Amino acid sequence: MDIKAVILAAGKGTRMKSETTPKVLHEIMGKTLLGYVLDNVKNFVSEEFVIVGHHAQEVETFVKNNYTDARTVLQTPQLGTGHAVSMVCPYLENFDGVVLILCGDTPLIKEETLKEFVNFHLAQNSDLTVMSTIFDNPANYGRIIRDKDNSLKCIVEEKDATLEQKAVKEVNAGIYCLNWGKVKSAFSQLKTNNAQGEYYLTDIIAWGKEQKLNVNAYILQDSNEIYGINSRINLAQAGKIMNKRNLEKYMQNGVTIVDPDSTWISEDTEIGQDTIIYPSTYIEGKNKIGKNCKIGPCAHLRGGVEVCDNVKVGNFVEVKKSRISSNTNVGHLSYIGDSELGEHVNIGAGTITANYNPITKTKSKTILKDNVKVGSNSVLVAPVTVEEGANIGAGGIITKNVPSWALAITRSPLKVIADWVKIQMSK
């Protein structure tokens, strides 16, 4: 069965209070909200359509630069969620498979959940399936309204709901699965007779019932997965939920997290068994950490980092877009960026890889081969290569390649002036 995804990402996100960043491009642990949704469907759909509107150019650029199987479709003017989905109708005119519809501001939804949802839709021989969940406080969500026989009747948005309907705790999760060939005509028949004066996507449920289609609801057990982001407060809360989920996964797989309350690790990070993550460590983006490593405390991995087995990344160390080979030690208060470190390398405290040229705005690589030793407070000015076994004296400023097994020293000769302090005090 061919599956395509439609992701709604055109909203303004007024409550985010952001003039420069569209809601779906706000980040949790170095990854955009839209990125989470796209990643959670890309492995089982053939094509992704992202509906853009507010800050369309920024969202289009993000999608183009990061996803080869996704395309953006402009919604203008923005006349509601039903109108948003109708924008893909010209692209799916001859498509007769399944269309999965999601919101671009729900980063907590899991790939496994979406697969189960699609499988439920297929197993029920459903024409139209909506995902629902139960909230003790269902405020701001559309309510799932059922007939007396408990079959799905319709979805009522809160602004259009009666007091009786508002008391319903089963809510619309905003995710749909459609047999496109049977449901696509709904998008040319939606009406705007509601409080918002918009074309509601939710109205396709009642439309499906009128057309005698097989309409069902899939009840999601973990309601956290459809937690939507509408404000900076929601963004922070979603981050906490996601991080707790991530840390539990790592600990269950044999990673020691000394203090989960102060540790943040992205879901796109792989960590091997028996690695220890010390308190106040922040790991964002996509990374791979091997077995028996020690990271932190207070370390920051910024993405694009590969740490092999038996590596120590000390306290207050920052690492970005670098590979650290096995049995290497990066001492505290160091910065390793755009670098390749070989095996059995020792980085003394306070070492800096100076990878950025502020004039040309380019970044260059630092390469340290196996068995290199770098003394404390050294600066390696990229592009530079230090060959196998070479030593860098403490305080060195390295601007040229260093040959194998050499010693590189840039410090001035030490001068000792006898009794200087006494002389100054006697003046």
Give the start-end residues of each E strand in 91-214.
Answer: 98-103, 128-134, 143-146, 152-156, 170-179
Q: What does the alpha-carbon distance between residue 389 and residue 345 come to, in Å, rounded to a whole number?
A: 9
Residue with structure tokens 């697969």?
115
Asked about 332 being catalytic, the answer comes back as yes
Instruction: Tell me the β-bridge partners of 373.
Output: 346, 391
Name the catalytic one among 55, 83, 332, 344. Answer: 332
Residue with structure tokens 């005509």?
185
Please give the structure tokens belonging to residue 11.
């909203």
Q: What does the alpha-carbon distance between residue 144 and residue 169 come to, in Å, rounded to a whole number?
A: 8
Strand order in the sheet with 276-277: 256-257, 276-277, 294-295, 312-313, 329-330, 346-347, 373-374, 391-392, 407-408
Q: Round the CA-based radius of gyration of the chain to a whole number and report it.
A: 28
Using alpha carbons, list the distances in angstroms from residue 381 to 89, 233, 337, 348, 356.
Answer: 54, 41, 11, 16, 9
First CA to last CA across the chain, in angstroms?
Answer: 92
Q: What does the alpha-carbon distance between residue 96 and residue 277 come to, in Å, rounded to a whole number?
A: 49
Q: Which residues of 233-265 are buried (b: 16+ CB within 10 A; e: fewer)?
A: ebbeebbebbbeebbeebeeeebebeebeebbb
Give the catalytic positions in this structure: 332
